[in-house]
Structure 1
Amino acid sequence: MNKTHTALEDSNQESGGSGRLYMLRPFYFVLLLWVIFWADSRFMLDLYHLGVLPGSAAGMFGIFTSPLIHGSLMHLVNNTFPILALGAGLFYFYPRIAWKVIIVSWLASGLMTWLIGRESYHIGASGLIYALAGFIFLCGILRKQANLLALSLLVVFFYGSLVWGILPIEDTVSWEAHLGGAFAGFGLAIYYRKSPPRSKKYSWELVEEEVEEAESHDDIPEEIWNREAWEEYSGSNHGIRYIYRTKEPDDLNADS
């Protein structure tokens, strides 16, 4: 059975879902990372083999799995809070393209690591973090909106030191993944520069938009505007009348 929705119903459903999930989604992902790390440590699984191994055909599998694996507790802790903050910001302001940004960032950072990385296993979600930070930061600048600029400034303030992560300073840090993630985030911000961010609208604005859209297609939904019923009502004896009474001369004398 087909089911129709008005703009107001769709908006309420979307805003309600977004309000519940924009923080839960990154939380669930972080929870998954902690469960994987616990299992790896508890059962000595040596999951680092699931990382990206540049130059190896088998190592390409790590493009899909490397963000899930972390080498130490400190490594995981350092990635936990940026994922929660940046993930919540992404799903809150860009709910319609959030998953696309995550998937492309995930794959692009891993692929670039495989192409330019050193011959070693590259693991961790840092590439994804750099992609989200780059995307949110550049989006705020390109759109010139106050709330997005504020979020961009927060990204710079809290994660401004991330810029050093794209330089080959430490041998144990995968700057290749960081660089790939940053490029992916900037590229996605430019690509989606015309995609509108999340905005709150009032019910009457949503109804007006649906009426205008329906009128443009000469197909007004019955729940918003029933043309036949209105014409029948306006042509009947039940029309709206404005009644007034002029003052009689005696009333004028009384007032004076």
Structure 2
Amino acid sequence: MTRVITAISLMAGWVGLLWLLEGIDFISGHALDSFGIQPRDVGELADVVPAAFIHFGFGHLAANSLPLLLLGFIAVLRSGVPRFLGVVLLITVASGLGVWLTAPPYSNTAGASGVVFGLFGYLLVRGFIERKALDIGIGLVVGVVYGSILWGALPSDSGISWQGHLFGLIGGVLAAIAFRERPGAVTDSAAVRPIP
């Protein structure tokens, strides 16, 4: 039950922060939009992480909020907070660097959708990598419910960063490999060892 409360608190706090930042952005005349990623400008590498917390309007943020809440909740619940934070950092950096390298010139990219796609990819493959039946089942359900988002990783609408989506998805798969549980590894759950 503690892990459920932790997952709810963490994800509600994260999404709440995103809404607060968008409110500040709106009130300031969109001053925070400058934290988006403008491709292939070395100075913009500093915005790779902050860009995941900035949105271009409340509609943009609303579209990301529910999937971020749900996928993040499941990932925290199944992985624990330390592992989840590592997964999200890897996804954020992979998505941001992918945008920085491949987005069209003179564009500005921001939003949590790269993280959403990354969490989708992470949950989709995690069970198969770790050979855990429950996580395979979770991945299949996530695939059925959110599988249609994969269209967002293909080049289409010029107003949507398919690059951020694609590299976020790749980052999620890499995170599932990099942060997999290894046999005999101590997790953040309680462990009991016999006294010699």
TM-score by length of 2: 0.89
Residues matched between the structures, number: 192
Question: Within the alignment, does 1:161 sit opposite 2:148 as a pair?
Answer: yes
The equivalent of 1:19 in structure 2 is: 4
Q: What SS does the aligned partner of 1:23 have?
A: helix
Q: Deviations over 1:98-157 (max 9, x none)?
A: 111111111121111111111200010111111111011101223343321221122112
SS in 2 for 1:210: coil
RMSD of equivalent CA atoms: 2.1
Counterpart pick for 1:130 among 117, 128, 151: 117
Q: Write the letter of the residue equivalent to 2:162.
A: W
User: Match of 1:226?
Assistant: none
How many Å separate the matches in 1 of 2:12 and 2:181? 28
Does residue 104 (structure 1) correspond to residue 90 (structure 2)? The answer is yes
- Does residue 210 (structure 1) correspond to residue 196 (structure 2)? The answer is no
User: Cα offset for 1:61?
Assistant: 2.2
1: distance between equivalents of 2:78 and 2:137?
12
Q: Displaced runs of 4+ in structure 1, greater than 4 A?
A: 196-201
Could you tell me how far apart the structure 1 residues matched to 2:156 and 2:39 are? 19
Aligned position for 1:86: 71
Q: Is the 8 A contact 2:87 2:179 kept in 1?
A: no
- Paired letter, 2:96: G
CA distance in 2, matches of 1:167, 1:48: 24
**CA-CA distance at 1:90 after TM superposition:** 1.0
Query: Aligned ranges for residues 141-220 of structure 1 at < 5 Å?
Result: 141-195=128-182, 209-211=192-194, 214-215=195-196
Q: Which structure exhibits the higher relative contact order, with contacts defined as CA atoms closer than 8 Å and separated by 6 or more residues?
A: 2
Q: Which among 38, 45, 50 is matched to residue 65 of structure 1? A: 50
In the alignment, what sits opposite 1:237?
Answer: none
Bigger radius of gyration: 1
Which deviates more, 165-174 or 59-68?
A: 59-68
Q: Distance in 2 between matches of 1:188 and 1:122?
A: 22
Partners of 1:69 and 1:153 lie apart in 2 by: 30
In structure 2, how many angstroms separate the alpha carbons of the residues matched to 1:178 and 1:167? Answer: 8
2-structure distance, mates of 1:93, 1:150? 12
In the TM superposition, 1:22-61 aligns within 5 A as: 22-61=7-46
**Is contact 1:139-1:189 (8 Å) kept?**
yes
Cα deviation 1:174-221 (Å, max 9, x = unaligned): 0111111111111121223344797988xxxx5xx322xx32xxxxxx
TM-score (norm 1): 0.69
Conservation of the 8 A alpha-carbon contact between 1:130 and 1:182: yes
Contact preservation (8 Å) 2:25, 2:33: no
On the 8 A contact 1:93/1:198 being kept in 2, the answer is no
Residue identity opposite 1:113 in structure 2: V
* Identity %, equivalent residues: 27
Aligned counterparts of 1:129 and 1:24: Cα–Cα separation in 2: 18
SS at match of 1:60: helix
Any stretches of 5+ residues in structure 1 without a counterpart? 1-14, 216-256
